[in-house]
Structure 1
């Protein structure tokens, strides 16, 4: 049986836009500048690392790779000494929990002791329960849902620490924990607690990597970039798509490509954004059994993302139709998302020279935003209201004043 390929390493290389020969040359330059000795690293050596034939390069080469690829550690690049790989796998649970401790997240008090033994039936029950809880994200803001999701994550971790189970069951639990951490992180981000969100996304990424769930790991990468607003969000989105790999569910591909399109749009790359949207749309045409974490992605949601992309690119003729089409079917009970999307529609109306329709859309967004426990809709309403002021739209002053003084019903701390 051959060595497993090092997809983590390859994802980092591709995210930097480097070919194997490019990276080999940079490594040689880096080592030579610091040691005076030029190593014999060539494209074949990089290929052997990616194929898993070289798991632990020389120290100087490892240091160069960590620096050049912007990795936090050798392990993040998938590099381990073979004799300690098993030990490294055992340490993953500790590393995951460190992400939570770093953000000051203490496990909540759980009302019952974990079962002595857990099997596939128990994990399936836990997964079904969490899928139902995920659906609450449509109607409630992160300030309301965070503790629901985080408590489920804490319970899963408690079972992992205390209960007996087979290896396959343990892997299923870790994958569920990755999904729960991702949802809890999203709720924290929605409520305005970015540091907590990033800690949970990192937990999710670590857990997904531990069990080889490339789709969940890829989605964690995109969440981290989205939450932090990193300048390298495109590189992160590219790395996520590489991490996803071939054979992924079409819905997962569509979700990641749509977020990749958004990353391109925010830096004004219209052609790349359009290509990513096309890939997303084509992927949705393939029916598949989507994992619950991306099952919500459908053609209506892709219309929303397409409308947002074209809105931020100032193409109202392409933004308004999909946004109006999708919003027509959006119930007011989905207040947070509907408010957000109405603000993108308002921006598109401003670009189209229709400030009256823009004000109508912004007022609707404001009415929804002030009742939901999320910081994001009100922030967008304020931005749109300021734009209304800038163009001298009627009643813009009153709208801007009300939006500025409004406060979302969010707790001071999670």
Structure 2
């Protein structure tokens, strides 16, 4: 088809063959002479959504689909030249995961049910302040399944249904965050997208932005920097200029982190400055949703210090991180371990290996009993950074004990 993009062509040809996305992944691997696990259904999904271009896989996809590689390459080039700006809608599930059952046999749902759910959601949010993902994943998933079932099977007015969708969106945000902290990234992505769909249907753009920004943050931290940056920007745009000040500050912070992980220092710095300006307007703007209770100047400082560490600016990062450490006590073990890990790296970058080693030891000790994949990954990052100073006795002792 003339003017057809690679995304459309791949989807059209796959569907013409009656193949699933998983089947196309398998057939492309066979054409390339690679093991089946070299490509996943999720890769094909991203190609068909236009979120990624197959590039080196193009000839093998063409072979699997029975089309000329040149034709597919031309479609890919056309897609790159005429791509539309990424929006949150590009990341929503293909089907509506919240579609009500045709015949509802559940009980009548009222405002009291929504209020009770809101209380449980906030309780889960407060629990996440002091507990790690591995401890909370079970209760979080049970609550989410129960809430979705309530919406799909129960009877309710349009107003109650909209309020219920908002609570499902809020629940999905914290459940997705918990799943991500537990290292269950694919599950977290599905949960975030469910929440985005619920918030979109509820007409709550601020909540859509929070969910999309949370997923963008996960993308940025799991090797999908391009998707993370695109979605972080889309989340900010979705929330709009009229979003509460705390919301804009948070979404700008995520944009800053996405630029940082994409190794784009200047845009990252600009976004940090804009986040601070947005938060300064908090007293003048709309009231912020309850779920943004934790967004304040200190949290922006945490992100600023992490950005400086990632960008190898230890002289700025170290004082900020030391100040941040004074705000967290032993009840916030995960946060202490995470922020100390950035301090250890910043100290190593500042050529202070002995102090970096002492800080790293604290990170390891704190992380030992925390069921968080994030802290486990940060321990690996810190130990890798210290390898440069293995000749320093204090560093060697920490590295040998960890080994």
Q: What is the TM-score normalised by the length of structure 1? A: 0.70
Aligned position for 2:225: 231
Distance 1:251 1:394 in 2: 46
2:353–2:395 contact (8 Å) kept in structure 1: no
Query: Structure 2: where are the runs of 5+ without partners?
Result: 9-77
Q: How far 1:166 moved relative to its partner?
A: 1.1
Aligned position for 2:236: 241
Alignment deviations for residues 277-303 of structure 1 (CA, whole Å, 9 cap, x no partner): 111112222135322332211111111
Query: What pairs with 1:357-368 in structure 2 (closer than 5 Å)?
Result: 357-368=355-366
Q: How far 1:143 moved relative to its partner?
A: 0.8
Q: How far 1:371 moved relative to its partner?
A: 0.8
2:232–2:254 contact (8 Å) kept in structure 1: yes
Query: Structure 1: where are the runs of 5+ without partners?
Result: 1-27, 35-62, 79-87, 98-113, 405-414
Distance 1:125 1:261 in 2: 36
Q: How far 1:95 moved relative to its partner?
A: 6.3
Distance 1:162 1:234 in 2: 37
Q: How far 1:70 moved relative to its partner?
A: 8.4
| Counterpart check, 1:217 vs 2:232 | no
Q: How far 1:272 moved relative to its partner?
A: 1.2
SS at match of 1:395: helix
Alignment deviations for residues 381-414 of structure 1 (CA, whole Å, 9 cap, x no partner): 222122212123333234234445xxxxxxxxxx
Query: What pairs with 1:375-414 in structure 2 (closer than 5 Å)?
Result: 375-392=373-390, 393-404=392-403
Aligned position for 1:68: 83
Query: What pairs with 1:1-400 in structure 2 (closer than 5 Å)?
Result: 68-69=83-84, 76=90, 92-94=96-98, 116-228=107-219, 229=222, 230-232=224-226, 233-285=228-280, 286-287=282-283, 289-392=287-390, 393-400=392-399
Q: What is the TM-score normalised by the length of structure 2? A: 0.72
Alignment deviations for residues 208-267 of structure 1 (CA, whole Å, 9 cap, x no partner): 111122122222222223323313122221111111112111111111111111111123
The structure with the largest helix share of the pair is 2
RMSD: 3.2
1:261–1:273 contact (8 Å) kept in structure 2: yes
Structure 1 stretch 302-311 or stretch 382-391: which is displaced more?
A: 382-391
Give the 4+ runs in structure 1 shifted more than 4 A.
28-31, 70-73, 75-78, 93-97
Q: How far 1:309 moved relative to its partner?
A: 0.4
Distance 2:79 2:352 in 1: 54
Distance 1:194 1:140 in 2: 18
Distance 1:177 1:403 in 2: 42
Distance 1:370 1:237 in 2: 32
Distance 2:155 2:100 in 1: 20
| Alignment size in residue pairs | 321
Distance 1:95 1:336 in 2: 37
SS at match of 1:92: coil
1:382–1:403 contact (8 Å) kept in structure 2: no
Distance 2:91 2:132 in 1: 35
CA distance 1:96–1:356, change in 2 (3 Å): farther
Q: How far 1:339 moved relative to its partner?
A: 0.5
